[in-house]
């Protein structure tokens, strides 16, 4: 019997270890090693921090890095602000069938690829697009308006793309809040604002944290939306990685950028978990 | 702020209105994509030139429909192939992972569990390049040692499948674990008590209980793979899956052909999702 | 004296179903008032209307004489102990108790003082810093009451708060709740489906059924002098029959049950010969004897065979069957006299006409 358990354990452990080591851990170590190389001449490399030095001194790289970070945080905040009332409505105001239907409606846009969603925004926002035409028709504009290729358009796309990943965890945590707890808050003299501040938001914190982490990660790692909706001169960090790897074949610098992005996301996720005293297992698992 | 607490009429109206606006915002981009698939024009934008099915069934230039466009059809085939491989692989490993974490206590379990979650917090593009880098290191190493060029380790479908598998497995693991946690272990003990072997007990009792989650994980994995862009972008070779093929076309300028493809995608994934919901209701 | 709580012609309809049907009652200050009824009888609806979470379809609710219909729940001078207590899991015990005081903008130092005082009063001093889930069921109960009582409400509503506790603790909490009510000297309105909770604690009990109050009275009233068949059947245990009246002599009746048992009984409401009636006889009012001579004073006497002994300590019963085949439940005295009683033994039973309560059959 004990022997059996041992064999079963090894059989179950093997795929996990193979997956994690061959596809996650070793590739990232390899990427780290590549980022620490400097090409001396063809096929000859030296270990150095030259790539990081380059990445940290070139203003364009640095600017893009921080821009990506700040815009991602902004997108996360906006998504949270828009999603929270909707999630609350679905979890606590809507009852029975309506609740189910609204929840399913929230999911539907995300059964289609991000590409299609982005394409939809392009049709809406571009110079010949629907909104431009609408504005001219109403009389608010007297010539076609280009709303694409700027930061606001990109922000609209980022928020749209991540919305589901904020709404679902919020709905789940808010649903677990017993109605009678909210009623008790009112019964003891609370009003809408104080109940929201002292009862609903503290209760929803786990959902807020896990939603925010996922949305932040998705924004940070997004390539399509910034490329298609963003301006020509406002690069996203993922675009720089792509350019180094695919366009310029400078893998050393590309790997460096990749590591910087990984570091940034780890720091922010770690910070968010620290701030709320939660672990990754609780938040993601 | 729940229905049992009296609220002013205007508050209810404003709140309801906000929620309505939200759903309009969700529906708007998809609706325009769908509607312009029927525009009898070279561009998916106003003016509306009239209704046509040509972008689906048209056989001659300039309006070649989806069903006569070789490139798109091939890309769909590639995507289906990749998604099927990823779904089977990731759900298999996800199931074994779920059993491992649910049934065994061992040293380093917490560390492994955190490692298992990591792919969720690694940007897709970084996952892509790390696998690209590692596979080419391997390929170069093999070349140096044995003078063999392993094509499979160069950007191409194998790497795309592995790249997607690397993070979709985490999601499959979580979906199946969630259901396995709800499983009442005494059912398995009852089966053992009634004469089943351990493996038979799992096969006849536990796996049927997990089936809804397994099917759900297959559908989710399939859809996620089909939709994936970031990781695929870094690993793709000459055979482009649909999202990449559409991206390349979109960069060149769009025709309502893309709308037609998108509409079919929406229909396809909605049907798949609906089938899954119906299956789980049953 | 103005009653603390008064409901007048209170009604609540959901669509076509009437949950509460023109209920009127008043609760004098400082008393413990219970509403007792089976689940779905409308008692929770009444309570939620008083608390302000449901709007009455018609009627009025007055607290200390003033109508509160237009007062939102967070401004009403009533507080509620919820069925599952609804303690705020995200706060400590002290924060829970201080919650309402913070809402009333009480200065911080006073809140701390009042919270300590309340904890003292419920016998749990020094636990203020703990988390809700570190407390036992009984402790949570007391904290939930303290959380309301620091606000000094005119009326405290309690919605089956003992339901989640295990039996032993529930027995203990009954006594404790009664003591707390006396200590705080506040009007309690208590809702329950458990008659023993209501009987032990209450000054007044309203028995509710299908949206109406069947009877309002003290525990003794309900037990000894039920007004309706529902109350007679709901409070305590009873042997019950349907039968036909054969003769009427003032309050005393001669009747025969459908199964053929002849009996003398007492009428609660007007009955005449030929009417069909419902008859209730409590097992504890039936006297058990070895010989018929001991039962000479009883109006009804039967010779029976023991069919089963249901031993349950002080609440033990015997099931006996008479010669027409009717089965009766009789309390087994614990004086030792019948310790050797076993199945198949012949016994004699008897009960007075005054203990056989008879109602006109409800249609």
The average pLDDT across B140-152 equals 84
Instruction: Give whichever of B67-76, B185-194, B227-236 has the largest mean pLDDT.
Output: B227-236
Q: Does B4 touch chain C (CB under 8 A)?
A: yes
**Looking at the predicted structure, is the pLDDT value of residue A128 above 80?**
no
Question: What's the pLDDT tens digit per position in A179-190?
Answer: 889 999 988 988
Q: Does C153 touch chain B (CB under 8 A)?
A: no
Place of tokens 């290729």: A149
Which chain B residue is nearest to residue C72, measuring alpha carbons? Answer: B6
Supply the pLDDT for residue C93.
Answer: 92
Chain A, window 154-183: residues with a beta carbon less than 8 angstroms from a chain C beta carbon: 178, 180-181, 183
Domain range list for chain B: 8-68+242-266, 81-240
CA angle B272, B276, B279 (to 5 degrees): 135
Determine the distance in angstroms separating the CA of C50 from the nearest CA of chain B, rounded to an integer: 13
- At residue B1 the predicted structure's pLDDT band, cuts being 50, 70 and 90, is low
**Looking at the predicted structure, is the pLDDT value of residue C296 above 70?**
yes
Is C5-232's fold the same as C239-286+297-360's? no
The pair of structure tokens assigned to C77 is: 């001078």
Contact B4 C72 (CB under 8 A): no
Q: What is the CATH number of domain A47-284?
A: 1.10.3720.10
In a mutational test of the B interface, the residue from C50, C53, C75, C76 whose CB has the highest number of chain B CBs within 10 Å is C53
**Looking at the predicted structure, is the pLDDT value of residue B166 above 60?**
yes
Supply the pLDDT for residue A2.
Answer: 65
Higher pLDDT: A247 or C60? It is C60
In a mutational test of the C interface, the residue from A187, A207, A208 whose CB has the highest number of chain C CBs within 10 Å is A187
Supply the pLDDT for residue C163.
Answer: 79
Residue pair C193/C37 in contact by the 8 Å Cβ criterion = yes
* pTM for this prediction: 0.84
* Rounded CA separation C20/A34 (Å): 76
Chain C, window 104-123: residues with a beta carbon less than 8 angstroms from a chain A beta carbon: 104
Supply the pLDDT for residue C363.
Answer: 56
CB neighbours (10 Å) of residue C74? 21
Higher pLDDT: A133 or A26? It is A26
Angstrom distances, CA of residue B199 to CA of B96, B98, B202:
13, 16, 5
Question: What's the pLDDT tens digit per position in A15-60?
Answer: 999 999 999 999 999 999 888 888 777 777 777 787 788 878 888 8
Which of C51, C83, C104 lies nearest to residue A189, judging by beta carbons? C104
CATH topology of domain C239-286+297-360: OB fold (Dihydrolipoamide Acetyltransferase, E2P) (2.40.50)
Question: What's the pLDDT tens digit per position in A211-256?
Answer: 998 899 889 988 988 988 887 767 888 888 888 888 888 888 889 9
Cis geometry, peptide bond prior to residue B135 (ω within 30 degrees of 0): no
**Looking at the predicted structure, is the pLDDT value of residue A277 above 80?**
no
Residues of C with CB below 8 A from A192's CB? none
Radius of gyration for chain C, computed over Cα atoms and rounded to the nearest angstrom: 25
ipTM: 0.86
Question: What's the pLDDT tens digit per position in C190-236?
Answer: 999 998 899 999 999 999 999 999 999 999 999 988 999 999 989 98
Residues of A with CB below 8 A from B143's CB? none
Q: Does A109 touch chain B (CB under 8 A)?
A: yes
Residues shown for chain A: 285
Place of tokens 């720089």: A240
Contact C82 A202 (CB under 8 A): no
Supply the pLDDT for residue A123.
Answer: 85
Determine the distance in angstroms separating the CA of C333 from the nearest CA of chain B, rounded to an integer: 45
The average pLDDT across B86-110 equals 92
Which chain B residue is nearest to residue C48, measuring alpha carbons? Answer: B4
* Rounded CA separation A76/C312 (Å): 65
The average pLDDT across A169-186 equals 90
Which chain B residue is nearest to residue C71, measuring alpha carbons? Answer: B6
Domain range list for chain C: 5-232, 239-286+297-360
Residue pair B71/B265 in contact by the 8 Å Cβ criterion = no
Weakest mean pLDDT among A199-203, C46-50, C162-166 = C162-166
Higher pLDDT: A58 or B195? It is A58
Higher pLDDT: A127 or C121? It is C121
Domain range list for chain A: 47-284
Q: What is the CATH number of domain B81-240?
A: 1.10.3720.10
Residue pair A180/C160 in contact by the 8 Å Cβ criterion = no
Instruction: Give whichever of A70-79, A140-149, A228-237, C337-346 has the largest mean pLDDT.
Output: A70-79
Residues of B with CB below 8 A from A82's CB? 22
- At residue A132 the predicted structure's pLDDT band, cuts being 50, 70 and 90, is confident
Task: Classify domain C5-232 at the CATH class level.
Answer: alpha beta
The pair of structure tokens assigned to C2 is: 């103005």
CA angle C166, C170, C174 (to 5 degrees): 175
CB neighbours (10 Å) of residue B18? 13
Question: What's the pLDDT tens digit per position in B253-274?
Answer: 777 888 888 888 888 888 887 8
Q: Does C54 touch chain B (CB under 8 A)?
A: yes
Contact C54 B4 (CB under 8 A): yes
Which of C73, C87, C90 lies nearest to residue A186, judging by beta carbons? C73
Supply the pLDDT for residue A216.
Answer: 92
Chains that touch C (3 or more CB pairs under 8 A): A, B
């Amino acid at each position: 019997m004990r022997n059996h358990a041992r064999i079963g354990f090894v059989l179950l452990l093997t795929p996990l270890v193979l997956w994690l080591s061959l596809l996650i851990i070793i590739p990232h170590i390899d990427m780290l090693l590549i980022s620490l190389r400097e090409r001396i001449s063809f096929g000859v490399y030296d270990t150095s921090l030259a790539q990081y030095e380059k990445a940290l001194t070139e203003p364009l790289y640095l600017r893009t890095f921080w821009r990506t970070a700040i815009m991602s945080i902004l997108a996360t905040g906006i998504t949270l602000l828009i999603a929270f009332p909707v999630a609350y409505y679905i979890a606590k105001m809507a009852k029975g069938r309506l609740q189910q239907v609204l929840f399913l409606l929230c999911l539907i846009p995300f059964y289609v690829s991000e590409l299609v969603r982005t394409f939809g925004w392009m049709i809406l926002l571009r110079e010949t697009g629907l909104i431009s035409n609408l504005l001219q028709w109403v009389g608010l504009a007297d010539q076609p308006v280009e709303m694409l290729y700027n930061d606001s358009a990109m922000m609209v796309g980022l928020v749209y793309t991540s919305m589901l990943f904020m709404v679902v965890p919020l709905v789940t945590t808010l649903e677990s809040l017993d109605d009678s707890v909210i009623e008790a808050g009112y019964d003891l003299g609370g009003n809408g604002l104080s109940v929201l501040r002292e009862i609903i938001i503290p209760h929803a914190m786990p959902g807020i944290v896990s939603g925010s982490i996922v949305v932040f990660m998705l924004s940070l790692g997004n390539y399509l939306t910034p490329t298609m909706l963003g301006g020509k001169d406002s690069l996203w960090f993922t675009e720089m990685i792509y350019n180094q790897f695919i366009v310029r074949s400078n893998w050393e610098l590309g790997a460096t950028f990749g590591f910087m992005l990984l570091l940034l996301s780890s720091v922010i996720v770690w910070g968010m978990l620290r701030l709320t005293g939660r672990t990754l297992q609780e938040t993601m698992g | 702020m729940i229905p049992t607490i009296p609220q002013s009429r205007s508050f209810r109206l404003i709140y309801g209105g906000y929620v309505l606006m939200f759903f309009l915002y969700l529906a708007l981009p998809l609706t325009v994509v769908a509607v312009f698939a029927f525009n009898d024009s070279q561009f998916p934008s106003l003016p509306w030139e009239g209704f046509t099915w040509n972008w689906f069934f048209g056989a001659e230039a300039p309006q070649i429909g989806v069903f006569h466009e070789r490139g798109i059809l091939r890309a769909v085939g590639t995507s289906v192939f990749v998604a099927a491989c990823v779904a089977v692989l990731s759900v298999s490993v996800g199931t074994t992972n779920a059993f491992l974490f649910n049934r065994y206590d061992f040293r380093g379990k917490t560390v492994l569990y955190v490692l298992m979650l990591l792919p969720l917090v690694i940007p897709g593009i970084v996952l892509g390049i790390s696998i690209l880098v590692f596979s080419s290191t391997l390929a170069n190493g093999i070349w140096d040692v044995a003078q063999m060029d392993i094509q499979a380790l160069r950007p191409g479908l194998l790497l795309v499948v592995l790249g997607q598998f690397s993070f979709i497995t985490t999601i499959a693991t979580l979906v199946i674990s969630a259901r396995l946690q709800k499983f009442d272990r005494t059912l398995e003990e009852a089966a053992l008590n009634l004469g089943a072997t351990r493996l038979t007990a799992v096969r006849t009792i536990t796996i049927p209980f997990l089936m809804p989650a397994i099917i759900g994980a297959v559908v989710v994995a399939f859809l996620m793979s089909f939709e994936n862009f970031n990781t695929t972008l870094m690993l793709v070779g000459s055979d482009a899956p649909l999202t990449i093929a559409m991206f390349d076309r979109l960069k060149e300028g769009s025709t309502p052909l893309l709308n037609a493809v998108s509409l079919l995608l929406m229909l396809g994934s909605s049907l798949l999702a609906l089938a899954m919901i119906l299956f789980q209701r049953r | 004296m103005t009653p603390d709580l008064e409901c007048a012609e209170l009604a609540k309809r959901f669509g076509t179903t009437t949950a509460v049907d023109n209920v009127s009652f008043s609760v004098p200050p400082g008393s413990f008032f219970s509403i007792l009824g089976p689940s779905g009888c409308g008692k929770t609806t009444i309570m939620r209307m008083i608390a302000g979470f449901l709007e009455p379809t018609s009627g009025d609710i007055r607290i200390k004489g003033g109508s509160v219909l237009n007062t939102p729940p967070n401004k009403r001078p009533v507080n509620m102990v919820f069925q599952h207590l609804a303690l705020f899991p995200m706060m400590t015990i002290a924060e829970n108790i201080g919650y309402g005081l913070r809402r009333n903008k009480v200065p911080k130092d006073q809140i701390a003082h009042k919270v300590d005082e309340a904890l003292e009063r419920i016998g749990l001093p020094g636990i203020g810093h703990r988390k809700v889930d570190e407390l036992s069921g009984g402790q949570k109960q007391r904290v939930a009451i303290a959380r309301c009582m620091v606000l000094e409400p005119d009326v405290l509503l309690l919605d089956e708060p003992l339901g989640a506790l295990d039996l032993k603790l529930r027995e203990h909490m009954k006594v404790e709740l009664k003591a707390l009510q006396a200590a705080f000297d506040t009007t309690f309105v208590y809702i329950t489906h458990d008659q023993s909770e209501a009987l032990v604690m209450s000054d007044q009990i309203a028995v509710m059924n299908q949206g109406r109050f069947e009877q309002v009275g003290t525990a003794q009233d309900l037990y000894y002098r039920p007004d309706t068949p529902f109350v007679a059947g709901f409070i305590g245990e009873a042997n019950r029959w349907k039968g036909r009246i054969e003769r009427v002599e003032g309050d005393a009746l001669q009747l025969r049950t459908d199964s053929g048992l002849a009996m003398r009984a007492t009428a609660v409401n007007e009955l005449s010969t030929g009417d069909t009636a419902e008859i209730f006889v409590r097992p504890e009012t039936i006297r058990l004897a070895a010989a018929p001579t001991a039962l000479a004073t009883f109006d009804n006497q039967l010779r029976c065979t023991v069919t089963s002994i249901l031993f349950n300590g002080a609440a033990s019963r015997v099931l006996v069957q008479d010669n027409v085949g009717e089965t009766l439940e009789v309390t087994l005295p614990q004086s030792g006299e019948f310790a050797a009683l076993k199945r198949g033994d012949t016994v004699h039973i008897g009960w007075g006409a005054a203990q056989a309560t008879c109602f006109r059959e409800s249609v």
